Amino acid sequence: MSKKLDIVKKQELLKVEDLHMVYRSGKLESTALRGVSFRVKAGEFVAIMGPSGCGKSTLLHILGGLLRPTSGEVLIDGFDMAQARDGERTKVRRDKIGFVFQRFNLLPTLTARDNIELASRLHNNHFDIAKANEMLRMLGLKDKMHHKPSELSGGEQQRVAIARALINRPVLLLADEPTGNLDSGNSRMVLEMLKNLNQEYKQTILMITHDHEAAASAGRILEMRDGKLLSRVQNLFYAMEQKLL
Ligand code: ADP
């Protein structure tokens, strides 16, 4: 392992401690998280796997600052998302986190490049065209940058969404079932891309999925059932590729 990677690996980027979430609506209660704890170091690619209804989306929405937990601690790059006021959470979400969604969520009237530019301008009213072009090239989208989402395949749309999520250099990329809407060929391409972002560019990624093939792209897989984490599984193929073993 290179010295640079060694240092990066030691830095804890995400700490989740005893997280609980109970949805309440009138007298009805639904418990989604029952004491979830885990850590992610900078430069890791972690997948959280589990069946529908086990609490994956709830967890991801809390990590992304879109939901406030009932109790527990969420530290992202040292910042407490669970306790922070709404305005502070929004700032951390904007500055530190990139999101990739199952349904891509691109604006249909804008081209690929303009979708990326909008994300950049909303962040700090600045757009680095050279950086955006480089990113589109890296993601294999150089010839598609002037296409609108309806003129792109699902896989291409997801790659544009990944470029959009990365344009503001987030410390953490949160991916919510990123291959859930894709056929197997496009899924594989998107997963290769995420793996490459992690291995070549040291992008920290946390992905939720119910797909074993998707989870196998990650370095570590956390299994979730009924609002709890079951086990931590080291992905040996990933470790061998990264020469960690
Ligand atoms: P997953 O993403 O693994 O499918 P969710 O986090 O969506 O799981 O859901 C976990 C549990 O919380 C489920 O029992 C679900 O019905 C419940 N739940 C999710 N969102 C809400 C909500 N807004 N109000 C009430 N219950 C919810």
Q: Is 84 helix (H, G, I), strand (E, B) or coil?
A: coil
The model's pTM: 0.87
Predicted pLDDT of residue 208: 95
Contact predicate 116/130, CB 8 Å? no
Q: What is the mean pLDDT of residues 30-39?
A: 96
**Pick from 38, 39, 33, 37: which is nearest to 70 by CA?**
33
Task: Report the separation in Å between the CA atom of 189 and the middle of ligand 1, taken as the mean of its atom positions.
Answer: 29
Task: Report the separation in Å between the CA atom of 95 and the middle of ligand 1, taken as the mean of its atom positions.
Answer: 27
Indicate whether 239 pLDDT > 70: no
pLDDT digits (tens, 9 = 90+) for 114-143: 999 888 888 776 777 888 888 888 888 889
Task: State which ligand 1 atom lies nearest to the alpha carbon of 61.
Answer: 6
- Please provide the average confidence, as pLDDT, over all residues in the chain: 88
Distance CA 170, CA 49 (A): 23
- In one-letter notation, the amino acid at residue 158 is Q
pLDDT digits (tens, 9 = 90+) for 213-225: 899 999 999 999 9
**Parallel/antiparallel/unpaired status of strands 12-25 and 71-76:** antiparallel
Task: Report the separation in Å between the CA atom of 23 and the middle of ligand 1, taken as the mean of its atom positions.
Answer: 8
- In one-letter notation, the amino acid at residue 144 is K
Indicate whether 5 pLDDT > 50: no
Predicted pLDDT of residue 9: 46
